[in-house]
Structures are given as C-alpha cells and as structure tokens.
Amino acid sequence: MIKVLIADDHEIFRDGFKLMLSRNKHVELIGEAENGRELLQMARELQPDVIITDIKMPIMDGIEATRQIKADLPRIGIIGLSMFDEEEQIMEMLDAGASGYLLKNADKDEVQEAIRHVYMEKTYYCKSTSKKLATLVARSRHAGPRQEKIDFNDREILIIQLICEEYTNKEIADRLYMSVRTVEGYRQRLIERMQVKNTAGLVIYAIQHDLYQPK
C-alpha cells in the first residue's frame, strides 16, 4: 500500500480526491490537510509515502511546506497541484523539492500514475504540460540526467518539432499527408525510444538534445 496525504484548502476538492483514491486498492489515504502548516504537522506525525499538495494555500503555501518537509523527511515524495497559468510557481515547487506536478484537471489514471512514479522515486511531469513550462523544466536541473542522444531520421525530427509546437495528431497528419493512425504510431514510438512517459517528457527531451528550439 502507498500511504498518501493530501492538502488543499477547498473541501470539495479534497472530497473528490478521497473518492478517487478510495477506488485504488494499492493506495491508502491516511490524512488530509487544509493549509501548509497543517500539512507539515501531519507529515511529521503520519509519515506518508507520497504527499499531493496544492501550491497556493493559506497560512503556509505548498512551496514552503514542501521545503520544510523535504528538509525533515527527505524520503517523502511530493506532487504539486497547480492551475494552467502557474508555470513559475510550479518551478518554485520543484526547486523546493517536489518530485512532480499535476494540473488540477488531471484524470484519475494520471493521478494514480503520478503517485506510482513518485513513490518509486521518479519524476513525473503532467501530460498537459504547456510548451512554456516544458521549456523551463528542460533548461533547469529538474530535467534529470541527460540521456544518450538518439539518431532520428528527418521525418521523425519533423514530427517531433510539430509535437513540440503543440500540433494535434490530426493537424500533423494533414500537414504531412499521413493518416492520423500513422501519426499516433510515430508519437508512441518516439516516446518509447526516448524512454519518457508522455508528450511533456518528449518535449523536454527534444529541447535538451537540440531537436527543437522554442521561439
């Protein structure tokens, strides 16, 4: 069982999270906090495996709570929860010691995947990561160790660049006179070859290895 502690100042959001996590037999929700100070106290008392915390909270925000928790209890994996327009706060959360982040509209499968990855001491980037945030991560120390560069052919590099520019599979298919299914196959193979988990990881890899230069 993965012991999880959640923190958010909105009760209705915590209730939704509780319901979602209750359906996963491998996860046990051991507590919930409504601000960063309460989260810090509960983390010390309950010793969770993973914490999922909102970044913006009253009394003490998620960033400061994360910084203090990681100083006292470095083994705990922390996932930050954010809105779409909080790139700088997400980077501050990673700087404070968080191992990953999710946007608040993430579906249950992604939440559970993020919990598993962070529990296994891996970093998790939300699949809905914006190009701006992916660029910030790729140029920071949070991108992880640089992987060996892979040789891609011209068609693959073009598809990588279009994905980085946030073209949909259909838009790429129309532009390159391919079927949507063929593009989907390319995307999945590229993710597998790069050894990343989702499109956000693909974009970060591409920027790190000079396959794509953000404008």
CATH topology of domain 129-215: Arc Repressor Mutant, subunit A (1.10.10)
Residues 54/36, Cβ–Cβ less than 8 Å: no
Q: Structural domain boundaries of the chain?
A: 2-126, 129-215
Q: In what order do the strands lie in the sheet with 27-33?
A: 27-33, 2-7, 50-54, 77-82, 100-103
Confidence at residue 138, expressed as pLDDT on a 0 to 100 scale = 80
Top-level class of domain 2-126: alpha beta
Other C-beta atoms closer than 10 Å to the C-beta of 193 total: 14
Q: Concatenated DSSP letters for 40-108?
A: HHHHHHH--SEEEEESS-SSS-HHHHHHHHHHH-TTSEEEEEE-TT-HHHHHHHHHHT-SEEEETT--H
Nearest in space to 80 (alpha carbons), one of 30, 133, 41? 133
Confidence at residue 131, expressed as pLDDT on a 0 to 100 scale = 75
Cα–Cα distance, 144 to 124 (Å, whole number): 11
Q: What is the CA radius of gyration of the chain?
A: 18
pLDDT tens, the chain, 215 aa long: 999 999 999 999 899 888 888 888 899 999 999 999 999 999 999 999 999 999 999 999 999 999 999 999 999 999 999 876 678 888 899 999 999 899 888 888 999 999 999 999 988 888 878 777 888 888 777 666 566 778 999 999 999 999 999 899 999 999 999 999 999 999 999 999 998 888 888 998 998 888 998 87
Confidence at residue 146, expressed as pLDDT on a 0 to 100 scale = 60
Confidence at residue 208, expressed as pLDDT on a 0 to 100 scale = 87
Q: Which two tokens stand for residue 200?
A: 């956000």
